[in-house]
Amino acid sequence: MQKRRETVYSLGLDLGGTNVKGAVIDTEGRIISQVEEATPPGKEVKEIVVCLADMIERLASEHPEIIGVGLGSPGILDAERKIIRASPNFPSWSNVPLIELIARYIKLPLILENDANCFALAEHRWGAGRGCRHLLALTIGTGIGGGIIIDGELYRGSTGAGGELGHISIDMNGPKCSCGSYGCIERYIGSRWFVEAARQKLSDSSINSPKDVNILSSAGNHAAADFIAKQGELLGIACVSLINIFDPQAIIIGGGIAELGDPFFRGIRHSVNERSYLKLASEVKILPADLGTKAGALGAAALGFEAGRIK
């Protein structure tokens, strides 16, 4: 008689500058429970640790089947040493041993990962990239986060800081980026700079978000639609370099700007078709993400199974 498999869950946490999202999932990626709370406004390490520990403890008491916890955080991480070296959402943090601090309160196995890597992993397993062995993922908000899946596995680099795809330069003489380089794609497509460019190009100071430009485009404003397409072409130039280096099956694009829709994706594809090796360009799928704002927590939860020795 075949032994019945024990039910096990994992908990994923997505630590953002505004909110902390949590998702309890089963081994098939089905969400059992979700929570969302405001990130402590002071953003001090101790406050964040207490917030995360309380959330883990509460969810673990409600779901004793949880065997591991994955935590996705923005910034430059040293995954092996389990520290956050620096984070744009928490500017005062430097070499914070976040997992070690949480483990003082929580006995479950814990794993730390970059939030964009969690996004990539979730889209690979359960989203738009399902079935692809080789893919790249870009999540576009204030900045651009990236994740790389090679032969079905998350690529982290030698120190765990790999995948900073938003800092590919498309113009060596372009504007200075916060990373210290010049002409990074983030400096053009990140929402702050997108809005600045839109106000200038469309002569409309009332534009406050990419969504405002999308509303104009959807209402028949041809200049707005053209602007969105041109921004897509800029991102497409960065995608060309990624395609030529990695030869992926797909590039998955998420975040608020990815919701700009067809004009944006047509612009990306135009640059890719114009600039890539023809065979590579024609075979790469360029797709909007499927999982929305829950992707970060889902990907972190996938790693929670890894922490609990289940893949």
Lowest mean pLDDT: which of 53-57, 174-178, 223-227? 174-178
Q: Work out whether strand 19-25 and strand 9-15 pair parallel, antiparallel, or are unpaired.
A: antiparallel
What integer pLDDT is reported at residue 160 of this predicted model? 80
- Residue 138's beta-bridge partner residues? 146, 253
178-184 mean pLDDT = 93
- Decide if pLDDT at 277 tops 90: no
In the chain, where the domains are located: 9-119+294-307, 132-290
Alpha carbon of residue 51 to chain centroid? 22
Mean pLDDT of the chain: 93
Is the distance from CB of 16 to CB of 142 less than 8 angstroms?
no
CA-based torsion, 216, 291, 150, 306: positive or negative: positive
- Decide if pLDDT at 2 tops 90: no
User: Residue 38 phi/psi, 5° resolution?
Assistant: -70, 135
What integer pLDDT is reported at residue 151 of this predicted model? 96
What integer pLDDT is reported at residue 1 of this predicted model? 44
- Decide if pLDDT at 215 tops 50: yes
- Decide if pLDDT at 4 tops 80: no
The rounded percent of the chain whose pLDDT value lies above 90 is: 82
CA-based torsion, 264, 265, 268, 273: positive or negative: negative
- Decide if pLDDT at 254 tops 80: yes
The angle that helices 262-275 and 222-246 make with each other, rounded to 10 degrees, is: 40
Return the HEC string of the chain.
CCCCCCCCEEEEEEECCCEEEEEEECCCCCEEEEEEEECCCCCCHHHHHHHHHHHHHHHHHHCCCEEEEEEEECCEEECCCCEEEECCCCCCCCCECHHHHHHCCCCCCEEEEEHHHHHHHHHHHHCCCCCCCCEEEEEECCCEEEEEEECCEECCCCCCCCCCHHHCECCCCCCECCCCCECECHHHHCHHHHHHHHHHHHCCCCCCCHHHHHHHHHCCCHHHHHHHHHHHHHHHHHHHHHHHHHCCCEEEEECHHHHHCHHHHHHHHHHHHHHCCHHHHHHCEEEECCCHHHHHHHHHHHHHHHHCCCC
88-114 mean pLDDT = 94
- Decide if pLDDT at 178 tops 90: no
Asked if the domains 9-119+294-307 and 132-290 are classified in one and the same CATH topology, the answer is yes
- Angle at Cα 34 formed by Cα 64 and Cα 70, nearest 5°? 65
Question: How many CB atoms lie under 10 A from the CB of residue 175?
Answer: 11
What integer pLDDT is reported at residue 162 of this predicted model? 87
What is the end-to-end Cα distance of the chain in Å, rounded? 25
Any residues with CB less than 8 A from the CB of 51 and at least 6 apart, and which? 20, 37, 39, 40
- Decide if pLDDT at 113 tops 60: yes
Nearest to 56 by CA among 45, 72, 69: 69
The CATH superfamily holding the domain 9-119+294-307 is ATPase, nucleotide binding domain (3.30.420.40)
Cα gap 75→231, rounded to integer Å: 25
- Decide if pLDDT at 275 tops 60: yes
- Decide if pLDDT at 5 tops 70: no
CA distances in angstroms from 10 to 50, 189, 304, listed in the order given:
20, 34, 5
pTM for the model stands at 0.93
169-197 mean pLDDT = 94
What integer pLDDT is reported at residue 161 of this predicted model? 82
Fold of 132-290: Nucleotidyltransferase; domain 5 (3.30.420)
Band of pLDDT at residue 276, cut at 50, 70 and 90: confident
When comparing pLDDT for 147 and 79, which is higher? 147
What integer pLDDT is reported at residue 88 of this predicted model? 85
Band of pLDDT at residue 279, cut at 50, 70 and 90: confident
What integer pLDDT is reported at residue 311 of this predicted model? 54
